[in-house]
Chain A
Amino acid sequence: MTRRALTNWLLLAAGLVVMAVMPALVSEYNLNMVVTILIYSLFALSFNILFGQAGLLSFGHAAYFGVGAYTSVILFKMAGFSLLPGILGASVAGGILGLLLGIFVVRLNGTYFALLTLAFNALLYAGAEKWRGLTGGEDGVAAMRPDLYIPGLGDVGMFSTLHWYYFVLIVVLLSTLFCWHFTKTPLGRLNECLRENEDRARFIGYNVYASQVVVNIISAFFAGLAGGLAGAFQEFVTVTFINLDKASEVLIMTFVGGSGTFWGPILGVSFLTYLNQWLSDLTEHWTLIQGIIFVALVMYAPQGLSGLLISVKDRLLGARAARMATAKETR
C-alpha cells in the first residue's frame, strides 16, 4: 500500500469514528443538523452522478427527491408501512420515475437536457400542487415516523434522535459506499467516458442510450432514497420538497463543494448547511450570501471547494518536492 493510499484509509477511518461517536460530541439540536447534512449529502451525491460524472446538468433533480418524500410519507400514513419498507418504496418510486423520465431526457444534452429536466420537474410540481386528494396540495401530508422492524429484535423506536441518527447514518453510509463503488464499475467508467466523448464510446460499440438510462435510474433511485429519508425526518411533506427551489438547492450545494471529485458534494452540503446555521443568527440575508459564494466560485474556482483544496494541496506538495530537489542538488 502506498503512503498516499494509507493516508486516505486513515482519514476515512477517522471520519467513521467521528461519525460513530458524534452523538456524544454534539447537542441534540446539532445532531439534527448532522442528520440534515447526511440526507442532503446523499441527495447531492445522487445529483453528481449526473452532473459531475456524466456531465449532465439537471435543473430538475427535485422531481426524484420530492416523489421519494411523498412516497415514504404517504406509505407511512395510508398504508401503515414500517420504516424500512417505506424508505425502500421511496427509492423504488424515484428509480421508476428515473426510468420514465430517463427514456426522454438522456437523448438530449447540454442546455436542452437542463431545460427538459426543468420542464418535467415543473410538471410534477404542478401535479403535486393540484392532486390534493393524494398530496394535500400546499397543505402537504403529515405522518409520524414509524418504528424500524428488525427480525429477531422486534421494533426499534425511531422517536429518539439517537436511534434515528444511527439509522440515517447507516443508510447513507451504505448508499455512499455503493455510489463510490459504482464509479469503479465498468458502467461507472463508461459514464465518465460518455461525458468526455460520446461519439468515441459509440464507435467502440457501447449502447450509449441504454447505459445513460440506467445511470439516470441509479441517480434517481438515490435521490428518491434521500427524499424518503427527508420525508421521514420532517414527518411531513409538502410542495417545497419538489419545487424548483429544491432543484436549485442541490445544484448550488454540489457545485460549491465541487463536482469534479466524488466527495465534493458532501463537502458542499456540509459547508453550506453549517454556514447557513452560523450566518442566519447574524443576518437574514443568508440566501444572498449563498448566491454570491456561488457566483464567485463559478467565476474564479469552477472546480468548487474541493478543487480549491486540491490545488492548495498540490501547491504545498509541489513546494515541498521542489525544496527536497534543491536540497538534494546542493548536497
Chain B
Amino acid sequence: MDILAALPVQALHGLVYGMLLFLVASGLTLIFGMMGVLNFAHGALYMLGAYFSYTVLQLTGQFWLCLLVAPLVVGLAGMIIERFFLRRVHVFGHAHELLLTFGMAYIIEELVKIFWGNEPLRVVLPPILAGSVPLLGIEYPVYRLFILGVSLLVFVLMFLVLYKTRAGIIVRAAVANTRMVNALGFNVPLVFLLLFGMGAWLAGLAGVIGGPYLITNPGMASTIIIDLFVVVVVGGLGSIQGALIASLLIGQLQSIGIMILPQFAMFFEFLLMALVLIFRPQGLMGESK
C-alpha cells in the first residue's frame, strides 16, 4: 500500500491506542501530581483489569458485565494498596513509596502468572463488537471504534467532574498545593484513597477494553508501563490536559513511526522522554513546583 494512502488509517490506529493510553495514564498523573508518588503498580492494575475481565467472561459469558465488574474489583484492589501498604511507608519518603509500588507491581505480575498462566488468553467479543465497518477505504474493526468511543466518553466525564464539580476542585487544588488543602480542613488522606481507587478503576477499565485489542498476556503490564511513564513525564506533573496531549502524541509516534521507520519507532518515544526530562523537566503542560 502506498504510504500516503495508508496514513489516515495509521493515524486512526494511533488515535485508538493514544486514547486507551490516556485512560490508564490520567489516574497515574493525578496521583503523581498529588502524592508525589509515581505508582509503578499502575500498569499491573491495568493488567489485572484485563485478567478479571477474562475470568468474568469465562464464568458468565457477558462482556458487558465484565465492563462493569472488573474495573470495580481493580479499583478496590487499588484502594487496598493505598490504604494498607502505601500509606504505611509514607513517613519514609517518596523513594520508599516508589520502591513499594515497584514491589507490588512485581508481586501482581507473578500472581497473574500463577493464576492465569504464561500463555496469552483469547477474549471472545460479543457479535455486535466483533465485525468490521467500511471506513477510510478499508474494513475497520468495530471494536477499535468502540475503544475510541469508551475512551472519549470517559475523558468527557472526567473533564466535567474535574472542572465542574466541587470534588474536582478539591482534587485540582490538592495537586497544586497538598498542604494548603489539608490545612483548609479537607481530609486529604481520604482524597488520596478515593483518587487512588478512581485511578485504579480507570486502569481496570482500560484493561478490560484493551485486553482483547492488545492481547491479554502477563507481559502487558511491563509493555505499557514505559509508555505510561513517558506520558506522565512528557505531559507534565499532574496535568490532565498534558496527559491527553502526550498520550495522543505517543499513539501517533508509534503508529506513524512504525510505518516510516520500523526499526526506530521505539527510539522516538524514549528520545522524546529523555529530551523533555533534560530540557523541560516539568513536562509540556506542567508547572514547576
Contacts and interface: CB of A to CB of B under 8 A. Distances in A.
B263 A130 contact: yes
Interface residues of B, number: 37
Interface residues of A: mostly helix, strand, loop or mixed? helix
A248 B101 CA distance: 13
B270 A122 contact: yes
Interface in A114-169: 114-116, 118-120, 122-123, 126-127, 130
A125 B281 CA distance: 23
Interface string A90-134: 000000000000001001101110111011101100110010000
A192 to B, nearest CB: 16
B229 A115 contact: yes
Interface in A262-302: 285, 287-288, 290-292, 294-295, 298-299, 302
Contact of A287 (B38, B110, B230, B233): B110
A285 B115 CA distance: 12
Contact of B100 (A110, A251, A299): A299
Contacts of B104: 295
A57 B106 contact: no
Q: Find the residue from B36, B88, B229 having the highest chain A CB count within 10 A.
A: B229
Nearest to B111: A288
Contact of A294 (B88, B106, B273): B106
Contacts, number: 95
B215 interface: no
A55 to B, nearest CB: 8
B8 to A, nearest CB: 28
Contacts of A116: 273-274, 277-278
Interface stretch (B64-72, B90-98, B155-163, B182-190): B90-98
Nearest to A129: B266
Given A115-B233, A119-B277, A298-B99, A285 B110 contact: yes
A255 interface: yes
Contacts of B264: 130
Interface of A: 55, 57, 104, 107-108, 110-112, 114-116, 118-120, 122-123, 126-127, 130, 244, 248, 251-252, 255, 285, 287-288, 290-292, 294-295, 298-299, 302
22 contacts: A57-B95, A57-B99, A110-B95, A115-B229, A115-B233, A115-B273, A119-B229, A119-B270, A120-B274, A127-B267, A248-B102, A287-B110, A291-B110, A294-B103, A295-B85, A295-B100, A295-B104, A295-B107, A298-B89, A298-B103, A299-B89, A302-B92
